[in-house]
Amino acid sequence: MLKFQHYFAYIPLGIFLSAVSSFCSADILSAEIKSGKYCRTELVKRLKLVEKTAHQPLKIKPSGKLLAYAASGELMCPWGLQLDFNGDKKNDWVGYLKLADQYQLVAYTSNTRNYLLQVISSSSQPPKNSYITRQSVARIKNKNRNQKVGKYVLLVNDLTADSIIYAWNGKKFIRY
């Protein structure tokens, strides 16, 4: 065993990581993504506790094209994203939750002292082919450039249809 560890001491880190990643197949990564453990964040727990809402985390698991895309790009939680969207240097959470028979894209954004819950969109169909990302406004071309928006926008990317862009206007997410 010591001899085995001794050999690893002389392998450059880049080569070692490359070799390890080739052993981690898409199947292993797919299983991790399907487990959903990466979608459980403190802000979602806070939302349920503080807001006393009937919203529930999605019980569906990524499959098909979405699972293949997620595994290839290491997109561990395609239906939720915890980042600072409104520019206050506090994490916000945007993602899909289920409420009764509706799948809602909701934002849980930080305010000076608390968080605000906003339903951005709603659908009777689950987001099986969609995933959420954040993009810099500078990279988005839009005819409505005179709209005041934050530094980042929310992209709801769909593998089978057009993507939708939402921007933070200082008070809420609006379609951009």
pLDDT in tens, 59-84: 888 888 888 888 777 677 888 888 88
Alpha-carbon distances of 175 from 35, 56, 101, 156, 166, rounded to whole Å: 31, 24, 23, 11, 4
39-63 mean pLDDT: 83
pLDDT at 20: 41
* pLDDT exceeds 70 at position 11: no
Residue 129 has pLDDT above 80, yes or no: yes
The per-residue pLDDT of the chain, averaged, comes to 76
